[in-house]
Amino acid sequence: MSEAREWLIQWLRDAHAMEEQAETILAGQLSRLEHYPDLSKRIREHLEETKAQASRLKACLDRIGEGTSTLKDTGGKLMAFAQSASGVFAADEVMKGSLASYTFEHMEIASYTILIAAAEAVGEKDVVQVCEQNLREEIAMADWLKTHLGPTTTKFLNRAEADSDSAKR
Ligand code: MG
Ligand code: FE
């Protein structure tokens, strides 16, 4: 197998682990958010997209013939737990979560941009298409988050003024 193909497979595995991590982070945020319904709704939608992204990547890996690395996926989930837990006790949890989510989406955008170039380099057209679809969803989520950072901040500050505890999440 060519070097380029081996790297493509490795990066697909990494992306799969990243999506499992995303799933854990989003599910954690969703379970704790109470007073930000727009944010909850968008996170719920992206959680469903994220599950589909992971299974599309898994299908690519199965087809290319390598399967996914259980060890890596477990590592991703554990890391996600640590990251997800880190904002839980913050008095501005919704703001810390917004920061982390916007950052995470951009890591995903970079990952799929790299994967698309790698898949094109070895002529894996199906992989290119899967990664382009995932990339579009990450860009849409990043744009939504960017648009809502200001309004979420305003809402957080207004709620904090009235009742600091309910502003948190
Ligand atoms: Mg994703
Ligand atoms: Fe995402």
What is the pTM assigned to this prediction?
0.89
pLDDT tens digits for range 65-110? 665 554 455 566 656 656 665 566 789 999 999 999 999 999 999 9
Among the bound ligands, name the one nearest to the CA of residue 112. Answer: 1
What is the per-residue pLDDT across 141-158, written as a single tens digit (0 to 9) for each? Answer: 999 999 999 999 999 999
Ligand nearest to the CA of 145: 2
> Residue 2 in 3-state DSSP?
coil
Q: Which CATH number belongs to the domain containing residue 75 in this structure?
A: 1.20.1260.10
CA distances from 25 to 60, 65, 101 (A): 24, 29, 9
How many other CB atoms sit within 10 Å of the CB of residue 129? 14
- State which residues form the domain around 113: 3-168
Query: What does the pLDDT look like over 31-69, one tens digit per residue?
Result: 999 999 999 999 999 999 999 999 999 999 999 966 555
Placement of tokens 């259980």 in the chain: 70
Name the closest ligand to CA 56.
Answer: 1
- Give distance in angstroms: CA of 161 to centre of ligand 2: 32
What pLDDT does 89 receive? Answer: 72
- What's the structural domain count of the chain? 1
